[in-house]
Structure 1
Amino acid sequence: MPDLTPHRHALRLSRPAGIRSIRLGDTKVSYVPDGDVRLRPRQLLRDSTDEVWAAHPEYLDAAGHLVGSVGGLLVEHGDRALLIDAGFGPQAHEAPEGAVAAIHGGALPRGLAELGRRPEDVEAVAFTHLHSDHLGWACHPAPGGDRLVFAHADHLIAEPEWDRRDLLEAQGMAEQVAALAPCVRTITDGQEVFPGVRVRFTPGHTVGHAEYVITGGGRRLIAFGDAVHSPIQIDHPDWSSDFDHDRVRTAGHRHRLVAELAEPDTIGFGVHFADVVFGHVRHDGNGPAWRPVDA
């Protein structure tokens, strides 16, 4: 019987992810979808070529857009819960040009409910960085109300990221900064922010971009935020995103990250990685280096 795994993998690269969970010992980690994003591949990854995309149509939808997921990562340990990033929120955006063709959110509260959690159960929201597709529900009220969904929770933001919030205000995001401010607690490089969860600063995508390393059960998971936008970059780590603040710095970090994700008992979480958000790296010459992990 032929091995259908590569075919099933290819199908997953052109659809956004639903809820997916894995266990790291006593810790449960779940992707909570909020929506999806459609990206123009050559505008997003300017070092890529038409020839590469023609050879890999499995990453693209019928309109030729790169398909990405938008959501957050729920980390549960006992009765405690941490959310890493908060999706895009109840809004939608389309653009006739630029890297983002369309993005929409709104599903994250429903996903939490399906996982048996209310927003009130989340004790803190930790952010990889302060772009709008990660701030999402931290800046929007609950459906049918006027209170912010996570107003009760600490908002954990890398100290250098929050120190340069003026960059966001200059981009017209003063309202979002003001919404976050009452709940912000800045965090430092290497700090444990939740049982088994440590932050590490990886500036480049933004001035204070952060990753979160979650350990348990003899494994570790690296939630690498926007250090990588698409699994195709695992095979082409020199390709930086058009959104990267420092393209050279992110490329250097991406090379190190790809090597780290190939180490034993190491899983990656790519929040924008279509329906392959959890995976590991295998350089064996047998297809893409990013291989989905589902348990």
Structure 2
Amino acid sequence: MTHSTRGRGDERLRRPAGPRSLRLGDTRVSYVPDGAVQLRPRDLIPDANDEVWAAHPEYLDETGSLVAGIGGLLVENGDRALLIDAGFGPQSWPPAPDGPRGAIHGGALLDGLARLGRSPEEIEAVAFTHLHPDHTGWAWHPAPGADRPAFAGADYLVSAPEWARRDLLQEPEAAGLAPYVRTVADGQEVFPGVRIRVTGGHSPGHAAYVITSGGQRLIAFGDALHSPIQVAHPGWSTVFDHDPVGAAEHRRRLLAELAEADTIGFGVHFADVVFGHVGRNGDDFAWRALDT
């Protein structure tokens, strides 16, 4: 069953997602929330002017902000478990005085894993789409009551180009990952049925993860898209994109692939519509959220 994001008054577009799971053959994937961030839409997407947002109030909360969830994607196959991205961690930041970022907070991811029956010790690897702090938080921040990160027993999988150019990210937290990092190459299988795809664009070595099982495919596309509104406008890059032109080129290829049969997308920041299909009408795309 799908749920269109075109209808106005859609509350799901204005709230962060709760836990959501779906099954692909022998593999279960679950969105594990950690927190949320409010984003100033005009500052986030420079090509979307005030008229755009006036025409699409369904995307904005009562403060006029885009609401982006923060969390990770748990991938389970039998007794084995992989986590894609590690949230923001147990911290909160006030709104930045200018630019796109409003208030941001995390802290719920470990509780969410517990509700799914998983402890951090059961996660064999944490695979990162990229090294921004809203994706690495629990991987470097000490776990409550401990002096080590929650996933210190796991391998930290980072695309080789992302790790090689981590200095460009200017994220001091990345240094805390070093003892656990194992770099991986484009196309490498990192878990049964899960392959990394290095895309670039958003960050120097930004990656997606393609999960294939039971005749279906799910693409966890990281920050290639921040909001469902970009699905209809793939040329709109965000100010967070390292290479805006490259990011837009990748989005166009990604959306064409997401429009193929038996393909599901996972957008970690997509409010409460994190799982969906892409519908296509000629050159036009639309996000069709899954009810899970």
Q: TM-score, normalised by structure 1?
A: 0.94
Structure 2 unaligned blocks of 5 or more: none
- 1:52 positional shift: 1.1
- 1:6 positional shift: 6.3
SS at structure 2 position matched to 1:31: strand
SS at structure 2 position matched to 1:13: helix
Structure 2 counterpart of 1:92: 92
Q: Distance in 2 between matches of 1:75 and 1:191?
A: 16
Structure 1 counterpart of 2:162: 161
- 1:142 positional shift: 1.3
Q: Do 1:22 and 1:294's aligned partners in 2 also have CA atoms closer than 8 Å?
A: no
Structure 1 unaligned blocks of 5 or more: none
- 1:15 positional shift: 0.3
Moved over 3 A (4+): 3-9
5 Å matches for 1:63-212? 63-93=63-93, 94-168=95-169, 171=170, 173-174=171-172, 176-212=173-209
Q: Distance in 2 between matches of 1:228 and 1:197?
A: 20
Q: Distance in 2 between matches of 1:47 and 1:36?
A: 24
Q: Distance in 2 between matches of 1:167 and 1:262?
A: 33
Task: Describe the shift of the 1:144–1:101 C-alpha distance in structure 2 as closer, same or farther (beyond 3 A).
Answer: same
Structure 2 counterpart of 1:227: 224
Q: TM-score, normalised by structure 2?
A: 0.95
String of CA shifts for 1:179-225, please: whole Å, max 9, x gaps: 10111000000000000000011011111000000001111000000
Structure 1 counterpart of 2:52: 52
Cα RMSD over matched residues? Answer: 1.8
What is the letter of the counterpart of residue 76 of structure 2? Answer: E
SS at structure 2 position matched to 1:113: helix
Q: Do 2:5 and 2:13's aligned partners in 1 also have CA atoms closer than 8 Å?
A: no
Q: Distance in 1 between matches of 2:281 and 2:15?
A: 25
- 1:9 positional shift: 8.0
Q: Distance in 2 between matches of 1:9 and 1:215?
A: 34
Q: Do 2:12 and 2:272's aligned partners in 1 also have CA atoms closer than 8 Å?
A: yes
- 1:129 positional shift: 0.3
Q: Do 2:228 and 2:287's aligned partners in 1 also have CA atoms closer than 8 Å?
A: yes
Q: Distance in 1 between matches of 2:206 and 2:212?
A: 20
Structure 1 counterpart of 2:15: 15
Q: Distance in 2 between matches of 1:149 and 1:141?
A: 6
1:272 aligns with 2:273: no
What is the letter of the counterpart of residue 70 of structure 1? Answer: I
Q: Do 2:9 and 2:58's aligned partners in 1 also have CA atoms closer than 8 Å?
A: no
- 1:96 positional shift: 2.3
String of CA shifts for 1:50-102, please: whole Å, max 9, x gaps: 11111111110101001110000000000000000000011111212111111
What is the letter of the counterpart of residue 148 of structure 2? Answer: R
The number of equivalent residue pairs is 288
SS at structure 2 position matched to 1:289: strand
Identical-pair percentage: 70
1:27 aligns with 2:24: no
